[in-house]
Structure 1
């Protein structure tokens, strides 16, 4: 609106000619710029995952593909976001989708062998049983990378997991 008043005052008081196409271009640009300012911008950091309901377990799985061999990881959290189980294994898969499938199969095997009946399976691959973005599954991928980097396999107590990984997906971050 200011530009219209400014142009009007220049025309009336200073005798300057108003070039309508220029005024229209300027108005369109300014309206567009100001409209963007009104768009709601989400400046919050990535959301943490929501823990599963009571009596449910959230089973996350992922793969890290490396030249020296790939590693799958399966991690399990309870309704208070506590890490219950971590399993890592080196596999012979150089294709990420095959590695994800192997991790999913191992997650199911672990759930069945431990007789866990109420599970939420989560992975990053779009074909998965329950797809979540990496932002909401931040623990599984660093676990897979850790397994690959340190050649770690088998079941692990949560006390053995680096704190930077252990609490990266927690609703209650460790301070």
Structure 2
């Protein structure tokens, strides 16, 4: 460490960054270490400028307290970011496509939407339809069915369907779940789709991971555009709905 005291700020940063490279990039400890080091340098450099240019005087304990406060604030921001990242849309496994679906109820009608993306997260297709019913659960079933029909017509072999309707997913995936009437009819149709395609499955996701399908359903309700949709004609707030969050 004695040799390091003669390094300029650029060399110090190089030393710090090179040392961090040896740590696992996913390690929160590595990130905390980098964050703490950056804050120490920032606080010290600011204090140095205040001393040189403004004749300021700092007590070491005040500088240390300032460093600790900044570190706690920044780490809390990153932890909040990490928690939100768990609810961000992520691409499917290699070789698979993901179909997100949702429904929007407006008055006595329901508007259905599904979007398809590949394992790189590229938007490959979008479909919409409508239902003359205000029943939200029935609309969710129709949205899942629309996704299945779209995947089958596109001849996609490996598909994971995602819906933010927990009840719909439970009914479809659990044949012992007590249900009757129109819901049973549509649940049976969707189960038949999944039975015919062994590499298809349906899972629930949070609404926060389903923004694109959600916004497409809302856009369909206002535009009254249905069937196979041209991706180039969709508004940006729909096609960019599931972009990753920026760091805090």
TM-score scaled to structure 2, two decimals?
A: 0.51
Mark the runs of 5 or more structure 1 residues left unpaired by the alignment. Answer: 1-36
RMSD: 2.4
State the shift of 1:81 in Å. 1.0
**1:124: which partner in 2?**
164
The SS at the match of 2:211 is coil
Change (3 A) 1:89 1:109: same
Is the aligned partner of 1:44 residue 2:78? no
**2:232: which partner in 1?**
159
Deviations 1:58-111 (A, max 9, x none): 001110000152110011011111111100112112111100001111111111
Is the aligned partner of 1:106 residue 2:143? no
8 Å contact kept, 1:57–1:120:
yes
Q: Distance in 2 between matches of 1:113 and 1:75?
A: 14
Aligned length: 137
Greater than 3 Å deviation, 4+ residue runs: none
TM-score scaled to structure 1, two decimals?
A: 0.71
Which structure's relative contact order is higher, taking Cα pairs within 8 Å and 6+ residues apart?
1
Q: Distance in 2 between matches of 1:74 and 1:155?
A: 10
Deviations 1:144-166 (A, max 9, x none): 00000111211112211111110
The SS at the match of 2:81 is coil
Mark the runs of 5 or more structure 2 residues left unpaired by the alignment. Answer: 1-71, 170-201
8 Å contact kept, 2:110–2:136:
no
**1:21: which partner in 2?**
none
**1:65: which partner in 2?**
105
* Structure holding more helix per residue: 2
